[in-house]
Structure 1
Amino acid sequence: MTKQYILNLETSKIELLHFSKEEYKSLTTDEQKSIRRAYMFAGSRSAWVSRSTKNHYSAISVAKQLGFTDGGKIGERLSYAEKVERQVEKAEARIDRYEKYADNAETRAKNLQKDINSMHGDIAFFTQPIIAGHAGSQRFARQREKMFDRYHKGFEEYRKSEYFRDKAETAEQTASMSKFKSRTYLSNRIEESNKIIREYERLIVRAEETQNEAFIETLLEKMEYEIEKLAYLHNKMDEIGGVQFNKDNLKAGYLVKIRGSWAVVVKANPKTVEVKYEVVPYTLKYAYAKIQEMKIPEGWTEKKKETAVNPFEVEDIVVRTAIYSDEIIKAFQVVKKTDKSVTIKEIFIENNIPQRNDFKIGSQERRTVKQDRNKNYVVNHDDWFLYKYNSAV
């Protein structure tokens, strides 16, 4: 029977078909190690399944090296909400199982230690010396040693019971879906999901350029799943009241509590808040979802915003000239502007004249606007200043 590997859409894992334990045992030691690195044996499916759920490159490489061929896909892909529901069901089943394991281990511990515990108060049992060559004394020594050995094994069972109770507690957290009640967790996952979607969009554009239809189909499936996940996360965020704070309701000088400590707001950015703690000599940035509380200090007044001056306009040309002549070394054209910066792109120069709209190949650069020692407005460009080109073109 042909050995095949398949992608199970329901679990998002690679499975090795028609591969028995006997065949596994017949492999070389190195081959067995390579399988264990990429796969684990799932008793519920009686098959080797990949450890990976997203990037299956290693799992597929191992399968091909062992002579497996691509068997395609089986099952139906679960939505993100369905996967979460499945995780909750499994966690609930684990709670009962781990608690039973813990109870059994605790019972074994008590049974192993009951002999020694029953001797508490019998000083002779613990202090009686052993007489060399005396049969009764030697027999007592062996009996006492066995009791102590069982007593120490009891501690191992108690440790096992604590381990299983910790596992049960972790399973309870999963079953309660507590992480979906945390603004910080949801905010981080939403940001990750948006980043993944942007990456898929970029890859789809590249795949369309190369007309790689199979890759496009795979990317669209993954992107659909990620969009479903993003919608689910946003819904969970809405259920707990959404993100309470943002750049519209925070001002410089406000106090915010993050991770249990209060800090002063230095700047409210579109996605993050920049704060200063009293004991930290620099500012730190946090997502708005991490803010636990906010309060306005007594006597707080809003600082007047400084009027930013940026005299440069879109389509203006800025140049860098030689130190001891009027030769133009580099020329750029302004394509965007803000109150404090400009976005520029390099243009060609002919006969010492910048050529408007004749752009060189390359990316745009965002640069700050400042004043030189003579109070002239310039564009800061690495270790040089760019001045406005005033000659007619």
Structure 2
Amino acid sequence: MTKQYILNLETSKIELHFSKEEYQSLTMDEKKSLKRAYLFSRYRSAWVSRSTNNHYSAIRVAKELGFTDGGKTGERLSYAEEVERQVEKAEARIERFEKYADNAEARAKNLQSDLNSMHGDIAFFTQPIIAGHAGSQRFARQREKMFDRYHRGFEEYRKSEYFRDRAATSEQTASMSKFKNRSYLSNRIEECNKNIREYERRIVRAEETQNESHMETLLEKMEYELDKLAFIHNKLDEIGGVQFNKDNLKAGYLVKIRGSWGTVVKANPKTVDVKYEVVPYTLKYAYAEIQDMRIPEGWLEKKKEVVNPFEVDDIVIRTDIGGNTIIKAFQVVKKTDKSVTIKPILIENNVPQRNNFKIGLQERRAVRQDRHNNFVVNHDDWYLYKYNSAV
């Protein structure tokens, strides 16, 4: 009978089913390769892949062991069902780890009870051992055993602390506290949107190459990300959503982020630039990270007057990265307070030719300031700078 590997949609893991005799017949190298990619699950009586998303290594190992593709089984859980299952498993782990911790603590007390009962008996700890004396030697062996049990008791106490830490971690998972954290939810939303955009690009390529099998897999993954995105948006709405944004924050406002107060330098579409007194540079944060906000007493909004410095007949250019070669050149033919109308001109020997226009339409473009406060013309995500013939 042909051995087959199966993708369990419910767990998103690859499963290998084979007998104990088949496992024992594997070579040492094959067993090592198997254990690197899989874990044995008593619950499923199968070797289950460590991976849940990218199964490339798991499938490669399965093929090396003689398994062929057995298709899929089960139904994919919704993201809400997946989280619910994680909570159930975490609650079961809490009870199990607390029991382990109690047992380890009981063993520790038992191991140390003999020596603890001798506290106050100075003679027991200070009595010298007489060489060649049978009774003295017996006492020495008994005392050494009690010391050994006492030290092993500390190991059990350490185990108890370890299991209580694991129980605390599981309790945090079971409480779903991360779904009450705006910063966590905001980051997961960005992550989902990024994955969805990537799957959309891959689906287009799969359609172009008519790879239907790959396209089906990509559609399933994108459906999962959309489901996850909806769930996270709902959780964010439950705690009131993101409270602050570009519309209700102004430069000069004070914001509390990660327990510290800083001053808003600039409110961007998705992030806010913040300056702290103890930090010599500006830091950027997502709006979800803002815990609180207040307006300083006497705050006044600064009106920034942007005056268009470009004039008709000025030449604006785009250069290569080194700034030595002119790639494009335009001449200003009209201007307003916030924009200019430009038309492309010819370039000869790396020199823009004024009034020597190329065939092309005029374009109206906004005037902005770059990060160094230089005035520029915004052109298709590139900045055009004023040409200086003296340079």
Q: TM > 0.5 between the two?
A: yes
Which residue does the alignment assign to 2:70? 71
Which residue does the alignment assign to 1:34? 33
AA matched with 2:14: I
Which residue does the alignment assign to 1:128? 127
Which residue does the alignment assign to 2:163? 164
Unpaired runs of 5+ residues, structure 1, are 322-327, 359-365, 389-393
Which residue does the alignment assign to 2:86? 87
Aligned residue for 2:147, secondary structure, equals helix
Which residue does the alignment assign to 1:215? 214
AA matched with 1:246: N
AA matched with 2:76: R
Question: Conserved in 2, the CA contact under 8 Å of 1:320 and 1:387?
Answer: no
AA matched with 1:304: K
Which residue does the alignment assign to 2:202? 203
Q: 1:57 to 1:340 in 2, by over 3 A?
A: farther
Which residue does the alignment assign to 2:334? none
Which residue does the alignment assign to 1:363? none
Q: 1:279 to 1:340 in 2, by over 3 A?
A: farther
AA matched with 1:14: I
Deviations 1:286-340 (A, max 9, x none): 0001001100011100000222538699xx995579xxxxxx9643579xxxx98
Q: 1:20 to 1:354 in 2, by over 3 A?
A: farther
CA distance in 1, matches of 2:222, 2:346: 41
Which residue does the alignment assign to 2:322? none
Which residue does the alignment assign to 1:285? 284
Question: Conserved in 2, the CA contact under 8 Å of 1:369 and 1:379?
Answer: no
CA distance in 1, matches of 2:378, 2:186: 37
Q: Percent identity?
A: 77
Which residue does the alignment assign to 1:325? none
Which residue does the alignment assign to 1:152? 151
What is the TM-score of this pair, normalised by structure 1? Answer: 0.83
AA matched with 1:16: L
For the pair 1:253 / 2:243, whether they are aligned, the reply is: no
Q: 1:376 to 1:165 in 2, by over 3 A?
A: closer
Deviations 1:81-137 (A, max 9, x none): 000000011111111111111111111111110000000001111111111111111
Question: Conserved in 2, the CA contact under 8 Å of 1:377 and 1:387?
Answer: no
Q: 1:154 to 1:301 in 2, by over 3 A?
A: same
Aligned residue for 1:35, secondary structure, equals helix
Q: How does 1:179-328 map to 2 (within 5 A)?
A: 179-307=178-306, 309=308
Q: Compute the displacement of 1:367 (Å).
A: 10
Deviations 1:151-196 (A, max 9, x none): 1111111111111111111111111111101111111111101110
CA distance in 2, matches of 1:377, 1:43: 66
Which residue does the alignment assign to 2:328? 331
Which residue does the alignment assign to 2:7? 7
Which residue does the alignment assign to 2:108? 109
Q: Compute the displacement of 1:46 (Å).
A: 1.4
Aligned residue for 2:266, secondary structure, equals strand
Question: Conserved in 2, the CA contact under 8 Å of 1:253 and 1:266?
Answer: yes
Which residue does the alignment assign to 1:324? none
Unpaired runs of 5+ residues, structure 2, are 320-324, 332-336
AA matched with 1:241: G
Q: Compute the displacement of 1:42 (Å).
A: 1.1
